[in-house]
Amino acid sequence: MTITTTGLTRAAGVSAAVAGLLFIAVQINHPTMDVDSVATTEWVVRNSAKVAMAALALVGITGMYLRQVRQVGVLGLIGYLLFGAGYLLMFSSEVISAYVLPGLVSLAPGYVNDIVVAAAGGTPVGDIGAMSTVLAVAGAGYMVGGLIFGIAVFRARILARWAAALLAVGTIATASLAVLPEAFNRPMAVPVGLALIGLGISLWRNPRSPAATLAGEGAAQTVGVEHATV
């Protein structure tokens, strides 16, 4: 199998779209964020899906950035680095949620509950150590990085502009959850999920720039002429 730039870009588009679908799917009938939920099989399954979502989203936005690296410029680079860091830390925290916290429920239920509360945007009662920093930086990278990256992609005019705008608005709107009831947590994820799906499909349908395509066709024609001359 030949690995090509077009193939890798399309794979990144599929990754982004699947990440968007998972992001929406895991919100449906989501259990209450408390220590009792952590001890269930459903918690492990849902958080495993979130692990996959974060990994696929990171692949997807990397493909988006590389596809339009010249067009998005420095703004796009800043947005990509922040957004990527947010998803990388999100991946790490979801791994802990899925595979570490369930084993601590019987040993340190208070600590587990505090982490879950903090992850939901609340204020933990006890000290959760470095996890508070991880969650805070992940949230900041996701919101600010998503806003900047969405604006850069919108300005680049390469991928679907409606999806780029939705990404920018949807990620920064997450900041409002600090003052909104917990019931808003799940619906707030839907716009970003739809944005990832739209950008992923757009990336899959438009994996190469016109200049690159013309350059490839020109090279093929040159080789043909050379063979004909020989």
CA neighbor of 93 nearest in space, from 127, 126, 139, 61: 139
More confident residue, 120 or 160: 160
Exposure b/e, 46-60, CB count within 10 A at least 16 = b:
bbbbbbbbbbbbbbb
Backbone angles phi, psi at 179, to 5 degrees: -120, -5
Residue 118, pLDDT > 90, answer: no
Residue 223, pLDDT > 50, answer: no
Q: Which residues contact 37 (CB under 8 A, 6 or more apart)?
A: 31, 43, 116
pLDDT digit string (tens) for 103-114? 999 899 999 999
Residue 184, pLDDT score: 66
Residue 30, pLDDT score: 82
Residue 29, pLDDT score: 85
The one-letter amino acid code at 165 reads A
Could you tell me if 125 and 114 are in contact, meaning their C-beta atoms sit under 8 angstroms apart? yes
pLDDT confidence band for 179 (50 / 70 / 90): low
CA neighbor of 142 nearest in space, from 54, 74, 82, 76: 82
Residue 89, pLDDT > 90, answer: yes
Residue 97, pLDDT > 90, answer: yes
Could you tell me if 38 and 105 are in contact, meaning their C-beta atoms sit under 8 angstroms apart? yes
Could you tell me if 195 and 151 are in contact, meaning their C-beta atoms sit under 8 angstroms apart? no
- Give the pTM: 0.86
More confident residue, 125 or 148: 148
Taking the C-alpha atoms of residue 230 and residue 228, their distance in angstroms, rounded to an integer, is: 5
pLDDT digit string (tens) for 185-215? 778 889 999 999 999 999 999 987 644 444 4
Q: Which two tokens stand for residue 23?
A: 């992001």
Residue 221, pLDDT score: 42
Residue 230, pLDDT > 70, answer: no
Per-residue CA distances from 204 to 6, 13, 148, 198, 214 (Å): 9, 5, 22, 10, 19
Determine which of 36-40, 71-75, 145-149 has the lowest per-residue pLDDT on average. 36-40
Residue 35, pLDDT score: 86
pLDDT confidence band for 32 (50 / 70 / 90): confident
Q: Where are the domains of the chain?
A: 5-229
